[in-house]
Amino acid sequence: MNFKNYQNAVSNVYAKNRLYKFGILVALVIVAINTVITTKAVNSRVTVIVPPGLTEKAEIQNETASDAYIKQMVRYIIPLRTTFTRLTARSQFDELLTIYAPESYPEAKGIYYDLADTIENSGDVTSIYILHKLELYSNQPIVEVRGMRRLYIEDKKAEEVRMTYKITYKINGGTFYIVNIEETTGR
């Protein structure tokens, strides 16, 4: 009889071990599923931004942004770049430089500081830009802005010319960066 009791006890131990193995296997499957779901959630998170002046929802997701957000950023950038006086040019260019991509910053800093020096040494100069059209390029990180630039010297209109700005941008880690601003006249 002792042998039968021993056999039953061993069978019970083996049954318990199988149950424990099954429990560990279930726990591992649950952890694996949880890991996959968490990774998907982190990679597909969306930041919804509604800044003042924006009438619709703007979204940034990974390396992309909604058209509304890009247009709002361009509407912020263009006056910093194009509408200034002798007294405001340097501070506006400094603010504009904070939006530049790190790899584009050194070149842009040189350009804008030289331009600010020229403006400050030119007397009473005022530039006004009137935006006429803002166009997003599909599938390219480029925005084209068309409008009219008026340049005043000593309160007299010195120049009125059509200006087009092509803004190349990138979105990195949910942050909008300017890569380049290209200026052309007469379009």
pLDDT of residue 53: 64
pLDDT of residue 21: 93
pLDDT of residue 6: 64
Q: What percent of the chain has pLDDT over 90?
A: 46
Main-chain dihedrals φ then ψ at residue 22, nearest 5 degrees: -65, -40
Tokens of 135: 């166009």
pLDDT of residue 57: 73
Query: Domain coordinates of the chain in residue numbers?
Result: 66-185
* CATH for the stretch 66-185: 3.10.450.230
pLDDT of residue 109: 93
pLDDT-flagged residues of the chain (< 50): none
Tokens of 1: 């009889």
Are the C-beta atoms of residues 134 and 143 closer than 8 Å to each other?
Answer: yes
CB atoms within 10 A of CB 128: 17
Would you say the pTM of this structure is higher than 0.85? no
Q: Is 9 left (phi over 0), alpha (psi -120 to 50) or beta?
A: alpha
Q: What percent of the chain has pLDDT over 70?
A: 90
- For 101, the 3-state DSSP assignment is coil
pLDDT in tens, 125-163: 899 999 999 999 888 899 999 999 998 888 888 889 999
Angle between helices 89-97 and 105-120 (to 10 degrees): 170
